[in-house]
Structure 1
Amino acid sequence: MSQNKFKLVECPRDAMQGLHDFVPTALKSEYLNLLLQVGFDTLDFGSFVSSKAIPQMADTTAVLANLDLTNTATKLLAIVANLRGVENAVQHQEISYLGFPFSISETFQQRNTNSSIAQSLNVVEEMLSLCEKNNKTAVVYLSMGFGNPYGDEWNYDIVEKWADVLVTKGVKILSLADTVGVSTPEKIESILPKLISKFTETEIGIHLHSTPKERFEKIDAAYCSGVKRIDSALKGFGGCPMAADDLTGNIATEDVISFLTSKGEHLNLNMNKWNEAMNLSEKIFGNV
Structure 2
Amino acid sequence: MNFPPKVTVKEVGPRDGLQNESALVSLDAKVKWINMLSETGVSYIEVSSFVRPEWIPQLKDASEVAKSIKRHPGVTYAALVPNQRGLERALEVDINEVCVFISASETHNLKNVNKTIADTLPIMEKVAEEARKSNKRIRGYISTVFGCPYEGETSIDQVLFICDKLLEMGVEELSIGDTIGIADPLQVENVTKSLLSHFPSDRLAMHFHDTRGTALANVLTAMNLGIAKFDSAVGGLGGCPYAKGASGNLATEDLLYMLHRMGIHTGIDTEKVREAATYIAKHVPELSSHQMKLLNS
**TM exceeds 0.5?**
yes
Partner of 1:51: 53
Q: Is the 8 A contact 2:5 2:265 kept in 1?
A: no
Percentage of pairs with the same residue = 31
Q: Quick check: 256-265 or 41-50, which moved more? A: 256-265
**1:156 and 2:163 correspond:** no
Unmatched segments (≥5 aa) in structure 2: 288-297
Offset at residue 200 of structure 1 (A): 2.1
Q: Is the 8 A contact 1:172 1:202 kept in 2?
A: no
Q: Is the 8 A contact 1:181 1:245 kept in 2?
A: no
1:162-218 CA distance string (max 9 Å, x none): 212222232221111111112111111111133134212861011111226323212
The code of the aligned residue for 1:263 comes to M
Q: Size of the alignment, in residue pairs?
A: 283
Q: Is the 8 A contact 2:182 2:211 kept in 1?
A: no
Partner of 1:232: 232
- Cα distance in 2 for partners of 1:60, 1:10 equals 16
- Cα distance in 2 for partners of 1:201, 1:15 equals 26
Partner of 1:85: 86
Offset at residue 283 of structure 1 (A): 1.5
- Cα distance in 1 for partners of 2:5, 2:77 equals 21
Q: Quick check: 18-27 or 194-203, which moved more? A: 194-203
**Which residues in structure 2 correspond to 1:86-101 (within 5 Å)?**
86-93=87-94, 95-101=95-101
Q: Is the 8 A contact 2:181 2:212 kept in 1?
A: no
SS at match of 1:213: coil
- Cα distance in 1 for partners of 2:215, 2:8 equals 18
The code of the aligned residue for 1:204 comes to L
In structure 2, relative to structure 1, the CA distance for the partners of 1:104 and 1:212 (3 Å cut) is closer
In structure 2, relative to structure 1, the CA distance for the partners of 1:4 and 1:161 (3 Å cut) is farther
In structure 2, relative to structure 1, the CA distance for the partners of 1:259 and 1:197 (3 Å cut) is farther
The code of the aligned residue for 1:10 comes to E
SS at match of 1:177: strand
Partner of 1:116: 116
- Cα distance in 2 for partners of 1:97, 1:4 equals 26
- Cα distance in 1 for partners of 2:168, 2:50 equals 26
The code of the aligned residue for 1:280 comes to Y
The code of the aligned residue for 1:157 comes to D
Offset at residue 28 of structure 1 (A): 0.8
- Cα distance in 2 for partners of 1:41, 1:212 equals 28
- Cα distance in 2 for partners of 1:149, 1:173 equals 25
In structure 2, relative to structure 1, the CA distance for the partners of 1:263 and 1:183 (3 Å cut) is same
1:55-104 CA distance string (max 9 Å, x none): 010111111121111x44211110122222122212332x1111122111
The code of the aligned residue for 2:168 comes to T
The code of the aligned residue for 1:9 comes to K
Partner of 2:203: 203
Partner of 2:136: 136
1:193-245 CA distance string (max 9 Å, x none): 33134212861011111226323212212212211110001121110112212
Provide the aligned C-alpha RMSD in A: 1.9
- Cα distance in 1 for partners of 2:36, 2:57 equals 23
- Cα distance in 2 for partners of 1:39, 1:163 equals 30
Partner of 2:9: 8
Q: Give the TM-score, by structure 1 length.
A: 0.92
Partner of 2:65: 63
In structure 2, relative to structure 1, the CA distance for the partners of 1:144 and 1:75 (3 Å cut) is same
Partner of 1:268: 267
SS at match of 1:284: coil
Q: Is the 8 A contact 1:205 1:230 kept in 2?
A: yes
**Which residues in structure 2 correspond to 1:241-280 (within 5 Å)?**
241-246=241-246, 248-280=247-279
- Cα distance in 2 for partners of 1:109, 1:206 equals 19
